[in-house]
Chains A and B, each alone.
Chain A
Amino acid sequence: MRESKLWFWHILSAVVILVFLGIHMGIMHLDAILWALGIGSGDPVRSADVFRRSRQLFFMVTYVILLGSALFHGLYGFRSMLWELSLPRAVEKAVGGACALAGFALFIYGSYVAVAVFRMGR
Protein backbone atom coordinates (compact mmCIF):
# COMPACT_ATOMS: atom_id res chain seq x y z
CA MET A 1 0.00 0.00 0.00
CA ARG A 2 1.24 3.48 -0.84
CA GLU A 3 2.62 5.56 2.02
CA SER A 4 0.11 8.34 1.33
CA LYS A 5 -2.76 5.90 1.86
CA LEU A 6 -1.20 4.56 5.07
CA TRP A 7 -0.72 8.13 6.28
CA PHE A 8 -4.39 8.88 5.54
CA TRP A 9 -5.43 5.82 7.59
CA HIS A 10 -3.04 6.92 10.35
CA ILE A 11 -4.86 10.24 10.65
CA LEU A 12 -8.32 8.69 10.32
CA SER A 13 -7.48 6.13 13.02
CA ALA A 14 -6.36 9.04 15.26
CA VAL A 15 -9.83 10.59 14.98
CA VAL A 16 -11.49 7.22 15.77
CA ILE A 17 -9.16 6.75 18.76
CA LEU A 18 -9.86 10.27 19.97
CA VAL A 19 -13.60 9.53 20.15
CA PHE A 20 -13.53 6.00 21.57
CA LEU A 21 -10.47 6.35 23.80
CA GLY A 22 -11.93 9.64 25.03
CA ILE A 23 -15.02 7.72 26.16
CA HIS A 24 -12.85 4.92 27.62
CA MET A 25 -10.53 7.30 29.51
CA GLY A 26 -13.51 9.29 30.77
CA ILE A 27 -15.16 6.16 32.17
CA MET A 28 -11.97 4.68 33.59
CA HIS A 29 -9.97 7.68 34.79
CA LEU A 30 -12.41 10.53 35.37
CA ASP A 31 -14.76 8.25 37.28
CA ALA A 32 -14.87 10.32 40.48
CA ILE A 33 -15.82 13.45 38.55
CA LEU A 34 -18.44 11.59 36.50
CA TRP A 35 -19.79 10.00 39.67
CA ALA A 36 -20.04 13.44 41.32
CA LEU A 37 -22.00 14.61 38.25
CA GLY A 38 -24.32 11.61 38.59
CA ILE A 39 -23.13 9.96 35.35
CA GLY A 40 -20.62 7.36 36.53
CA SER A 41 -21.39 3.97 37.95
CA GLY A 42 -18.93 3.82 40.83
CA ASP A 43 -15.67 1.88 40.68
CA PRO A 44 -14.98 1.25 36.95
CA VAL A 45 -12.59 -1.70 37.51
CA ARG A 46 -14.89 -3.49 39.93
CA SER A 47 -15.61 -6.93 38.53
CA ALA A 48 -19.40 -6.43 38.31
CA ASP A 49 -18.99 -3.12 36.44
CA VAL A 50 -16.34 -4.50 34.07
CA PHE A 51 -18.41 -7.54 33.09
CA ARG A 52 -21.65 -5.51 32.84
CA ARG A 53 -19.97 -3.21 30.30
CA SER A 54 -18.22 -6.06 28.48
CA ARG A 55 -21.56 -7.86 27.93
CA GLN A 56 -23.12 -4.85 26.21
CA LEU A 57 -23.02 -4.86 22.41
CA PHE A 58 -22.01 -1.17 22.28
CA PHE A 59 -18.90 -1.71 24.41
CA MET A 60 -17.92 -4.97 22.66
CA VAL A 61 -18.09 -3.28 19.24
CA THR A 62 -16.26 -0.15 20.42
CA TYR A 63 -13.53 -2.27 22.08
CA VAL A 64 -12.87 -4.05 18.77
CA ILE A 65 -12.90 -0.80 16.76
CA LEU A 66 -10.63 0.87 19.30
CA LEU A 67 -8.31 -2.15 19.35
CA GLY A 68 -7.90 -2.17 15.57
CA SER A 69 -7.51 1.60 15.27
CA ALA A 70 -5.04 1.87 18.16
CA LEU A 71 -2.93 -1.05 16.93
CA PHE A 72 -2.71 0.37 13.42
CA HIS A 73 -2.03 3.91 14.65
CA GLY A 74 0.58 2.84 17.20
CA LEU A 75 2.42 0.28 15.12
CA TYR A 76 2.44 2.44 11.98
CA GLY A 77 3.87 5.29 14.07
CA PHE A 78 6.46 2.96 15.58
CA ARG A 79 7.43 1.63 12.15
CA SER A 80 7.77 5.19 10.82
CA MET A 81 10.11 6.12 13.65
CA LEU A 82 12.32 3.12 12.96
CA TRP A 83 12.34 3.81 9.21
CA GLU A 84 13.64 7.32 9.89
CA LEU A 85 16.89 5.80 11.16
CA SER A 86 17.93 5.17 7.53
CA LEU A 87 18.00 1.42 7.98
CA PRO A 88 19.03 -0.90 5.12
CA ARG A 89 16.09 -1.72 2.84
CA ALA A 90 15.94 -5.37 3.95
CA VAL A 91 15.78 -4.34 7.63
CA GLU A 92 13.03 -1.81 6.83
CA LYS A 93 10.99 -4.58 5.19
CA ALA A 94 11.58 -6.89 8.15
CA VAL A 95 10.49 -4.14 10.59
CA GLY A 96 7.37 -3.47 8.52
CA GLY A 97 6.53 -7.18 8.36
CA ALA A 98 7.12 -7.69 12.09
CA CYS A 99 4.86 -4.71 12.95
CA ALA A 100 2.11 -5.99 10.64
CA LEU A 101 2.37 -9.52 12.06
CA ALA A 102 2.34 -8.29 15.68
CA GLY A 103 -0.64 -6.06 14.87
CA PHE A 104 -2.66 -8.90 13.34
CA ALA A 105 -1.82 -11.29 16.21
CA LEU A 106 -2.76 -8.75 18.90
CA PHE A 107 -5.94 -7.83 17.03
CA ILE A 108 -7.04 -11.46 16.80
CA TYR A 109 -6.29 -12.08 20.49
CA GLY A 110 -7.97 -8.85 21.67
CA SER A 111 -11.04 -9.41 19.47
CA TYR A 112 -11.33 -12.98 20.72
CA VAL A 113 -11.33 -11.72 24.33
CA ALA A 114 -13.93 -9.00 23.59
CA VAL A 115 -16.28 -11.45 21.82
CA ALA A 116 -15.73 -14.30 24.34
CA VAL A 117 -16.53 -12.05 27.33
CA PHE A 118 -19.53 -10.58 25.47
CA ARG A 119 -20.93 -14.10 24.95
CA MET A 120 -20.09 -15.27 28.47
CA GLY A 121 -23.16 -16.47 30.36
CA ARG A 122 -25.54 -16.09 27.38
Chain B
Amino acid sequence: MRYRRKNQLGLWGWLGGGRWGPERYAYALHRLTGLGILAYFIMHIFVTGSRVGGPERWESTMASLSTPFFKAGEFLVFLAFSYHAINGVRLIFVELGTLIGKPGILSYPFSYSALRQRPLLIAAMVAATMLMIVGGADFYFLTK
Protein backbone atom coordinates (compact mmCIF):
# COMPACT_ATOMS: atom_id res chain seq x y z
CA MET B 1 0.00 0.00 0.00
CA ARG B 2 1.25 3.46 -0.92
CA TYR B 3 2.46 5.59 1.95
CA ARG B 4 0.11 8.55 2.31
CA ARG B 5 0.90 11.69 4.19
CA LYS B 6 -1.53 14.55 4.60
CA ASN B 7 -0.44 17.69 2.78
CA GLN B 8 -1.63 20.25 5.30
CA LEU B 9 -0.08 23.20 3.49
CA GLY B 10 -2.10 22.74 0.28
CA LEU B 11 -0.89 24.98 -2.55
CA TRP B 12 1.65 26.66 -0.25
CA GLY B 13 3.21 23.23 0.12
CA TRP B 14 3.97 23.39 -3.60
CA LEU B 15 5.44 26.86 -3.72
CA GLY B 16 6.70 27.86 -0.32
CA GLY B 17 10.33 27.22 0.54
CA GLY B 18 10.11 28.29 4.17
CA ARG B 19 13.52 27.97 5.81
CA TRP B 20 14.64 25.16 3.49
CA GLY B 21 17.02 27.29 1.50
CA PRO B 22 17.48 28.18 -2.16
CA GLU B 23 17.29 24.55 -3.36
CA ARG B 24 13.69 24.40 -2.17
CA TYR B 25 12.83 27.60 -4.06
CA ALA B 26 14.66 26.23 -7.12
CA TYR B 27 12.38 23.19 -6.84
CA ALA B 28 9.24 25.35 -6.60
CA LEU B 29 10.34 27.38 -9.63
CA HIS B 30 11.08 24.12 -11.47
CA ARG B 31 7.46 23.10 -10.99
CA LEU B 32 6.07 26.50 -11.98
CA THR B 33 8.13 26.58 -15.16
CA GLY B 34 7.13 22.98 -15.84
CA LEU B 35 3.45 23.89 -15.67
CA GLY B 36 4.00 26.87 -17.99
CA ILE B 37 5.92 24.76 -20.49
CA LEU B 38 3.22 22.04 -20.40
CA ALA B 39 0.47 24.60 -21.12
CA TYR B 40 2.51 26.04 -23.99
CA PHE B 41 3.37 22.57 -25.32
CA ILE B 42 -0.28 21.51 -25.58
CA MET B 43 -1.05 24.76 -27.43
CA HIS B 44 2.02 24.19 -29.61
CA ILE B 45 0.76 20.75 -30.69
CA PHE B 46 -2.41 22.35 -32.09
CA VAL B 47 -0.60 25.33 -33.66
CA THR B 48 1.89 23.08 -35.47
CA GLY B 49 -1.05 20.85 -36.40
CA SER B 50 -2.04 23.54 -38.89
CA ARG B 51 0.75 22.21 -41.16
CA VAL B 52 -1.69 19.51 -42.23
CA GLY B 53 -3.64 22.23 -44.06
CA GLY B 54 -0.62 23.01 -46.26
CA PRO B 55 1.75 25.99 -46.56
CA GLU B 56 -1.05 28.57 -46.95
CA ARG B 57 -2.73 27.49 -43.73
CA TRP B 58 0.63 27.49 -41.92
CA GLU B 59 1.44 30.99 -43.15
CA SER B 60 -1.93 32.36 -42.06
CA THR B 61 -1.49 30.75 -38.61
CA MET B 62 1.99 32.26 -38.27
CA ALA B 63 0.68 35.65 -39.43
CA SER B 64 -1.99 35.61 -36.72
CA LEU B 65 0.70 34.84 -34.10
CA SER B 66 3.21 37.46 -35.30
CA THR B 67 2.38 40.06 -32.67
CA PRO B 68 4.62 41.55 -29.94
CA PHE B 69 2.36 39.87 -27.36
CA PHE B 70 3.00 36.38 -28.73
CA LYS B 71 6.70 37.14 -29.24
CA ALA B 72 6.99 38.14 -25.57
CA GLY B 73 5.08 34.99 -24.61
CA GLU B 74 7.42 32.88 -26.71
CA PHE B 75 10.41 34.52 -25.03
CA LEU B 76 8.92 33.75 -21.62
CA VAL B 77 8.62 30.11 -22.68
CA PHE B 78 12.28 30.19 -23.75
CA LEU B 79 13.25 31.56 -20.31
CA ALA B 80 11.18 28.85 -18.62
CA PHE B 81 12.75 26.19 -20.87
CA SER B 82 16.29 27.45 -20.10
CA TYR B 83 15.69 27.31 -16.37
CA HIS B 84 13.77 24.02 -16.39
CA ALA B 85 16.34 22.26 -18.61
CA ILE B 86 19.47 23.36 -16.74
CA ASN B 87 17.92 22.89 -13.31
CA GLY B 88 16.60 19.52 -14.51
CA VAL B 89 20.15 18.43 -15.39
CA ARG B 90 21.18 19.44 -11.86
CA LEU B 91 18.31 17.42 -10.40
CA ILE B 92 19.34 14.34 -12.41
CA PHE B 93 22.90 14.66 -11.07
CA VAL B 94 21.55 14.98 -7.52
CA GLU B 95 19.20 12.02 -8.09
CA LEU B 96 22.15 9.90 -9.22
CA GLY B 97 24.27 11.15 -6.33
CA THR B 98 26.96 12.65 -8.54
CA LEU B 99 28.68 16.05 -8.26
CA ILE B 100 27.49 16.49 -4.67
CA GLY B 101 30.41 14.88 -2.90
CA LYS B 102 30.70 11.62 -1.00
CA PRO B 103 29.28 11.00 2.45
CA GLY B 104 32.01 11.21 5.07
CA ILE B 105 32.65 10.85 8.78
CA LEU B 106 31.01 13.54 10.87
CA SER B 107 33.71 15.89 12.02
CA TYR B 108 33.98 19.60 12.73
CA PRO B 109 33.36 21.82 10.77
CA PHE B 110 30.12 19.96 10.05
CA SER B 111 28.78 19.78 6.54
CA TYR B 112 25.31 18.83 5.38
CA SER B 113 23.87 17.65 2.08
CA ALA B 114 22.24 20.98 1.12
CA LEU B 115 25.57 22.74 1.58
CA ARG B 116 27.37 20.16 -0.55
CA GLN B 117 24.78 20.68 -3.29
CA ARG B 118 25.13 24.48 -3.23
CA PRO B 119 28.03 24.79 -5.75
CA LEU B 120 26.05 22.68 -8.23
CA LEU B 121 23.02 24.94 -7.79
CA ILE B 122 25.13 28.06 -8.31
CA ALA B 123 26.75 26.57 -11.43
CA ALA B 124 23.32 25.59 -12.81
CA MET B 125 21.88 29.06 -12.20
CA VAL B 126 24.88 30.73 -13.88
CA ALA B 127 24.52 28.40 -16.91
CA ALA B 128 20.74 29.03 -17.10
CA THR B 129 21.27 32.81 -16.89
CA MET B 130 23.86 32.68 -19.67
CA LEU B 131 21.50 30.69 -21.87
CA MET B 132 18.71 33.20 -21.17
CA ILE B 133 20.98 36.12 -22.11
CA VAL B 134 22.06 34.43 -25.36
CA GLY B 135 18.41 33.60 -26.16
CA GLY B 136 17.29 37.15 -25.32
CA ALA B 137 19.94 38.59 -27.62
CA ASP B 138 18.78 36.26 -30.39
CA PHE B 139 15.10 37.09 -29.81
CA TYR B 140 15.36 40.87 -29.68
CA PHE B 141 18.73 42.18 -30.88
CA LEU B 142 20.39 39.94 -33.44
CA THR B 143 19.12 40.15 -36.99
CA LYS B 144 19.84 38.01 -40.01
Query: Would you call B31 and A81 a contact (CB within 8 A)?
Result: yes
Given known contacts A30-B135, A74-B38, is B7 in contact with A84 (CB within 8 Å)?
Answer: yes
Main secondary structure of the interface of A (DSSP, over half): helix
How many chain B residues touch the partner (CB < 8 A)?
A: 42
Q: Which of A85, A106, A117 contacts B42 (CB 8 A)?
A: A106
Instruction: Kindly list chain A residues whose C-beta atoms are within 8 Å of the C-beta of B41.
Output: 70-71, 74
Taking the complex as formed, is B89 at the interface, i.e. its CB lies under 8 A from any CB of chain A?
yes
Segment 52-85 of B: residues with Cβ below 8 Å from A: 52, 54-55, 58-59, 62, 74, 78, 81, 85
Q: Measured between alpha carbons, how far is A42 from B144 in the docked complex, in Å? A: 7
Taking the complex as formed, is A6 at the interface, i.e. its CB lies under 8 A from any CB of chain B?
no
Most buried by A among B6, B10, B41, B81: B41
Query: Would you call A50 and B81 a contact (CB within 8 A)?
Result: no
Query: Would you call A3 and B62 a contact (CB within 8 A)?
Result: no
Q: Measured between alpha carbons, how far is A95 from B45 in the docked complex, in Å? A: 21
Most buried by B among A18, A29, A45, A78: A29
Taking the complex as formed, is A57 at the interface, i.e. its CB lies under 8 A from any CB of chain B?
no
Nearest residue (CB) in B for A89 is B4
Instruction: Kindly list chain A residues whose C-beta atoms are within 8 Å of the C-beta of B58.
Output: 47, 50-51
Taking the complex as formed, is B17 at the interface, i.e. its CB lies under 8 A from any CB of chain A?
no
Query: Would you call B35 and A78 a contact (CB within 8 A)?
Result: yes
Q: Measured between alpha carbons, how far is A51 from B31 in the docked complex, in Å? A: 34
1/0 per residue, CB under 8 A from A, across B22-66: the answer is 000000000100110110011001001101101100110010000
Taking the complex as formed, is A104 at the interface, i.e. its CB lies under 8 A from any CB of chain B?
no
Query: Would you call B14 and A18 a contact (CB within 8 A)?
Result: no
Q: Smallest CB–CB gap between B59 and chain A, Å? A: 5
